[in-house]
A and B are shown apart, each in its own frame.
Chain A
C-alpha cells in the first residue's frame, strides 16, 4: 500500500490560499493505510510475531478472499450512492447453483463456473432494474433481495449442504501454486519457492516501471509531482511490503490461487475506476446525480451495470466460498454484506457517495480480517471481536466526517 500524498503548488495568487509551496499529507486519504500499519504492528506485538508468520499470512488472505472480492463490488455500489444488502444471500444462492451443476449434474467445472457467473449477472440485472429504471431505493430492493435469494438457496438445496466440489474449484479457493522450479535456500529463513519469489520480483519491478512512467508522463505535461525522495520512499515501502508477504508465502506453501485472482481483480478494477470512462461516470453519478445527468451521463445505465457487476462478483465469491468449505450450504454467506459494506466504509468511502477507492476497500477488508485473525490468535472470545469491529467501523466513519467538517471550516 502506498501513501497518498496531496501536493499542491500555488502558481497564481489567490485569496484563498497563500503563495509559495504547500506540502501536506492528505490525512483523509492516507489515514487508512497508516491505521492498517498500526493495527498490524499492534497484533504483531500482542501475538509475539505470530501475526506475520508464513502460515498466518496465508490464512488471512485465504480466509478473507471472498469478503475482499465482495468489497470490490461494494465500493462501486457505494461510490454511485447506493448500497447492496443482498450480497450474502447471492453468495449462498450462486454457491448452491454451482454445487448443483458440478455435483448433481456433473457439468464440467469451467462451464459450471461460467453459468454461475451468468446467474450472478442475472440476479444483479434484476436488482439493477428495480433500482435504476423503476426508481426504488437500493436499500429496499436489496433488502428484499436478501430475503428472496436466501429463499431461493433453500429451494435449491433443501435443508442440507451439497458437496464435495471438483478438485479444480477447491484449488482455486484453497490451493496454492505449484513449485515448478523447486525451492531455493534463503539462509536463516530456510527454503522458499522460486516461482513465487520470481513473481514477487516481477510485481515489484512492475510497480517501479508503472510508477516511473506515470511520473515521467506527469512531468512531461508540466504537472506538479511529489519530491523525488518521497517518490522513491513510497516505492521502497511498497516494494518491501510486497516482497515481505511474498517471501513469507514462498516459505509456506507458495502463492494461494485466490491471491493471484485477487491481485488481478484489484488491478483491473483500480484501472476501471481511475481511467475508464465508465469508472469516471460512477464517481460523477455519486458526486452529483443532477450534474451528471445534465452532462449527458446515462445515469440509469451506469447504476444498472454497477449492480450487474456486483452480482457477478457475488457469484465469484459464492463459488470460492463454497469451494473452500467444499460444500454449498443454505446458511452460507450469512452477514457477508455487512463485512463488505464495513470494508468499503472503513476504506474511506463516503456515505453520500462519490468518494472511494478499490484499494481503500481492500485495505478496509484487510483491517477487519487482521482484527478477526489477531484477536482469535490471542484467544479473545467472538463477542469481543464483534465489539472491536463495530468500534473500528464507527471510528473510521467518524474520522471521515470529522476531516470533512474540518476541511469545510477552514474554507
Chain B
C-alpha cells in the first residue's frame, strides 16, 4: 500500500456558466496535515464537497482514490462511512440539543430503537476528553462559544471513526486562544494517525501547522509545496500569480471633490455578542472615482457596506459619515437612499430581487415614489423607465414583463443595477457585482461601472477578484479582520501587495 491516503485526479466540476474546478489534482499523505490555499472562488470548498460526496459521483469528472481503492461516493453518508468527515465553515450543529446529542446526531446510541442515554453521555464525555472540551455532555450547544462548538464538531467527527478530517476555515471565527487550542488539537490527532486537510486564509497558521500546502487558483492546481522553508510570500505569489488576461474596458477617470467620508466606523456582530465585525474603519470616496475594497472572506467587507447603508446589518454601530462635507445620519435604508446612497447586494437572489416579479417591478422597487403621483403609480411610466434600462444596460429578456427569476445571472445583475441607478444615487456600493456571471456579461458590467463614474458618481467596488479591482479601480482599500490595513493608488497596486495587506494582522478581532 502506498503512503498516500487520498489521491484526486483530474477533478472537474462545472456549474451553469462557471467552470469551478478544472482538472484538479490533489495528493494527501497518510498522517499529514495538508493545507489548501487559494483566493475566494479558487475552488477550495468545491473540491472538498466533491471529496465528501456533497456532489455525488457523476456530477463531476475525474477519479478519487482513497485508501488504495477508487471511490464513487453517492452522498455524504457514504464518505463518512469510509472515515472522511468534513467540518464546514458554518457549523452544522443543532443549537438546542445537548453536546452529547449533537455528537451522536444521526448516529444515535440506541438499543432496540430506544436511545441509551447513559451510553450516549458516557461516550460523549470520552470524546470530549480527547478534544479537550471540559463541559457537561448535557449542556445545550447554544450555551457554548464558537471555539467550543468547533470542538464539538471535531468530537462528532471522532465518533464516526474519522480517518481523514477536512476542516474548512476552522479558525476564521475563533480568537487567538481558541485557535491555538484547535491547532494543538489537530497536531494531537495527527499523532494519533488521523490525516487532516485544512482550508485556511490565515497563512501564518498554515505555515505553523501544515506539513504540505497545495495552492489552487481559478479552479486549477498550481502546485503542492513542502511546508519546510516555505514563506507567506511564496504562497501568496502562487495564489495570485495569474496574469491579467481578463479584459477591462479602457477608462480615463476624471476624479472630482470628496463626496463621502466615513470615520472611525465600528460594527458589532448581531449574533455573537461582543464580536467586532468592523473596527475603526475610515475611508473617503470622491466624485467620479471607482474605489476598491479588497478583503478575504470574513474580513468584514459586506458588513462594512451594509452597516453604512442605513444600518441594514450589525449592532452597536458607531462612527461618523460625511457627505459633501456635512455629517449625515443614516438610520434606515430609506434615509440612506434619500441621501443618495445605493447598495447592490452580493447575493442578488436572496437580498436583491423579488424573483417572482417581473423586471419592471424590480427596477422600480427602490424608487417607486418617483413614478407615483399622490401615492398612485403610473405603470406606463414604469414600463418606459424599465424599458429604457433594458435597452441601455442590454438586459436580454423578451420584455420588461419577464419574470426576473428566469433570467441568467448576468441579466439579473443588470436588473439590480437598474434598480439602484434609478434611485439616482451619488454613491454606489457594489458588492461582488460580477459573482457567478460569465465573462461576456462581466465586461458589460465593467462598462456600466465606468459609465457611472463618468457621470460623477462615486463607486465603492467590493470584489474577491483582485484582477477586477486592479483593472477597474482608481484606488483600493484593503480590509483584514475588520480593519482597514491599507490604501493603495492604482499605480502602486499589485496582486501580491494587496494580498499581503489583506492577510496582514490576521489575529482575530476582539
In the bound complex, how far is the Cα of B269 from the Cα of A118, in angstroms? 42
**Residue of B345, B387, B399 ringed by the most chain A CB atoms within 10 A:** B399
* Pair B345/A294 contact, Cβ less than 8 Å: yes
- Of the listed stretches A119-127, A279-287, A311-319, A392-400, name the one at the interface; the rest are far from the partner chain: A279-287
20 A-B pairs whose Cβ atoms sit less than 8 Å apart in the complex: A8-B398, A8-B402, A9-B398, A12-B398, A14-B397, A221-B384, A276-B376, A277-B368, A277-B369, A280-B361, A280-B368, A287-B354, A288-B353, A291-B354, A291-B365, A294-B343, A294-B352, A295-B366, A298-B334, A411-B406
* Pair B398/A11 contact, Cβ less than 8 Å: yes
Interface membership of chain B positions 396-425, coded 1 if the CB is closer than 8 angstroms to chain A and 0 otherwise? 111101100010100000000001000000
Chain B residues near A292 (CB-CB < 8 A): 354, 365
* Pair B366/A296 contact, Cβ less than 8 Å: yes
Closest CB-CB distance, A388 to chain B, in whole Å? 31
Number of B residues with CB within 8 Å of any CB on chain A: 42
Chain B residues near A295 (CB-CB < 8 A): 333, 337, 365-366, 419
- Whether A217 is near chain B, meaning CB under 8 Å from some CB there, is yes
Contacts A294-B333, A296-B334, A296-B366; A354 near B383 (Cβ below 8 A): no
Tally of contacts, chain A with chain B, CB under 8 A: 107
- Whether A290 is near chain B, meaning CB under 8 Å from some CB there, is yes
Instruction: Specify which of A222, A276, A277, A354 is in contact with B357 (CB 8 Å cutoff).
Output: A354
* Pair A283/B368 contact, Cβ less than 8 Å: no
- Whether A218 is near chain B, meaning CB under 8 Å from some CB there, is yes
Instruction: Specify which of B366, B377, B380 is in contact with A223 (CB 8 Å cutoff).
Output: B380
Q: Which 4 A-B pairs have the closest CB atoms?
A: A287-B354, A295-B366, A296-B334, A296-B333
* Chain A residues proximal to chain B, CB less than 8 Å: 8-12, 14, 16-17, 22, 217-218, 220-224, 271, 274-278, 280-281, 283-284, 287-288, 290-298, 350, 354-355, 411
In the bound complex, how far is the Cα of B370 from the Cα of A296, in angstroms? 13
* Pair A283/B357 contact, Cβ less than 8 Å: yes
In the bound complex, how far is the Cα of B406 from the Cα of A9, in angstroms? 16
Chain A residues near B337 (CB-CB < 8 A): 295-296
In the bound complex, how far is the Cα of B352 from the Cα of A292, in angstroms? 8
* Pair B397/A12 contact, Cβ less than 8 Å: yes
* Pair A276/B377 contact, Cβ less than 8 Å: yes
In the bound complex, how far is the Cα of B396 from the Cα of A17, in angstroms? 10
In the bound complex, how far is the Cα of B335 from the Cα of A296, in angstroms? 8
Contacts A278-B375, A296-B334, A296-B337; A287 near B355 (Cβ below 8 A): yes
- B394 (CB) vs chain A CBs: closest residue: A12
In the bound complex, how far is the Cα of B379 from the Cα of A274, in angstroms? 9
Interface residues of B in 333-357 (CB under 8 A from A): 333-334, 336-337, 343, 345, 350-357
Closest CB-CB distance, A110 to chain B, in whole Å? 27
- B379 (CB) vs chain A CBs: closest residue: A275
Chain A residues near B366 (CB-CB < 8 A): 295-296
- Whether B138 is near chain A, meaning CB under 8 Å from some CB there, is no
- Whether B87 is near chain A, meaning CB under 8 Å from some CB there, is no
- Whether B281 is near chain A, meaning CB under 8 Å from some CB there, is no
* Pair B399/A11 contact, Cβ less than 8 Å: yes
- B397 (CB) vs chain A CBs: closest residue: A14
- Whether B372 is near chain A, meaning CB under 8 Å from some CB there, is yes
Closest CB-CB distance, B460 to chain A, in whole Å? 16
* Chain B residues proximal to chain A, CB less than 8 Å: 309-310, 312, 332-334, 336-337, 343, 345, 350-357, 361, 364-366, 368-369, 372, 375-377, 379-380, 383-384, 387, 396-399, 401-402, 406, 408, 419
In the bound complex, how far is the Cα of B396 from the Cα of A292, in angstroms? 24
- A223 (CB) vs chain B CBs: closest residue: B383
* Pair A218/B397 contact, Cβ less than 8 Å: no
* Pair B419/A221 contact, Cβ less than 8 Å: no
Chain B residues near A16 (CB-CB < 8 A): 406, 408
A280-B377, A296-B333 given; 14 more Cβ-contact pairs under 8 Å: A9-B399, A12-B398, A16-B406, A218-B380, A222-B384, A223-B380, A275-B379, A281-B368, A288-B355, A290-B350, A291-B351, A296-B336, A298-B332, A355-B356
* Pair A293/B368 contact, Cβ less than 8 Å: no
- B381 (CB) vs chain A CBs: closest residue: A221
* Pair A354/B368 contact, Cβ less than 8 Å: no
Closest CB-CB distance, B420 to chain A, in whole Å? 9
In the bound complex, how far is the Cα of B355 from the Cα of A277, in angstroms? 19
- B390 (CB) vs chain A CBs: closest residue: A12
**Residue of B336, B356, B376, B384 ringed by the most chain A CB atoms within 10 A:** B356
- B310 (CB) vs chain A CBs: closest residue: A296
Chain B residues near A287 (CB-CB < 8 A): 354-357
Closest CB-CB distance, B217 to chain A, in whole Å? 30
Chain A residues near B354 (CB-CB < 8 A): 283-284, 287-288, 291-292, 354
Chain A residues near B399 (CB-CB < 8 A): 8-9, 11, 224
In the bound complex, how far is the Cα of B396 from the Cα of A298, in angstroms? 31
* Pair B312/A221 contact, Cβ less than 8 Å: no
Closest CB-CB distance, B389 to chain A, in whole Å? 14
In the bound complex, how far is the Cα of B406 from the Cα of A296, in angstroms? 24
Contacts A9-B398, A11-B398, A294-B345; A275 near B419 (Cβ below 8 A): no
Chain A residues near B357 (CB-CB < 8 A): 283-284, 287, 354
* Pair A354/B356 contact, Cβ less than 8 Å: yes
* Pair B377/A275 contact, Cβ less than 8 Å: yes
Instruction: Specify which of A10, A14, A217, A294 is in contact with B380 (CB 8 Å cutoff).
Output: A217
* Pair A14/B398 contact, Cβ less than 8 Å: yes
Chain B residues near A222 (CB-CB < 8 A): 384, 387
Closest CB-CB distance, B407 to chain A, in whole Å? 8
Chain A residues near B312 (CB-CB < 8 A): 293-294
- B376 (CB) vs chain A CBs: closest residue: A275
* Pair B333/A291 contact, Cβ less than 8 Å: no
- A354 (CB) vs chain B CBs: closest residue: B356
In the bound complex, how far is the Cα of B361 from the Cα of A281, in angstroms? 10
Chain B residues near A275 (CB-CB < 8 A): 376-377, 379
In the bound complex, how far is the Cα of B401 from the Cα of A291, in angstroms? 19
- A7 (CB) vs chain B CBs: closest residue: B401
Closest CB-CB distance, A211 to chain B, in whole Å? 14
In the bound complex, how far is the Cα of B385 from the Cα of A222, in angstroms? 12
* Pair A221/B356 contact, Cβ less than 8 Å: no
In the bound complex, how far is the Cα of B153 from the Cα of A33, in angstroms? 55
**Residue of A17, A221, A281, A298 ringed by the most chain B CB atoms within 10 A:** A221
* Pair A14/B396 contact, Cβ less than 8 Å: yes
In the bound complex, how far is the Cα of B361 from the Cα of A274, in angstroms? 11
Contacts A9-B398, A292-B365; A221 near B380 (Cβ below 8 A): yes
* Pair A294/B375 contact, Cβ less than 8 Å: no
Closest CB-CB distance, A274 to chain B, in whole Å? 8
In the bound complex, how far is the Cα of B214 from the Cα of A80, in angstroms? 50
Chain B residues near A17 (CB-CB < 8 A): 398
In the bound complex, how far is the Cα of B361 from the Cα of A283, in angstroms? 10
Chain B residues near A350 (CB-CB < 8 A): 356
In the bound complex, how far is the Cα of B399 from the Cα of A391, in angstroms? 38
Closest CB-CB distance, A273 to chain B, in whole Å? 11
Chain A residues near B365 (CB-CB < 8 A): 284, 291-292, 295, 297
Chain A residues near B379 (CB-CB < 8 A): 274-275
Chain B residues near A284 (CB-CB < 8 A): 354, 357, 361, 365
Chain B residues near A297 (CB-CB < 8 A): 365
In the bound complex, how far is the Cα of B309 from the Cα of A224, in angstroms? 38
Contacts A287-B357, A294-B333, A296-B366; A277 near B380 (Cβ below 8 A): no
* Pair B356/A277 contact, Cβ less than 8 Å: no
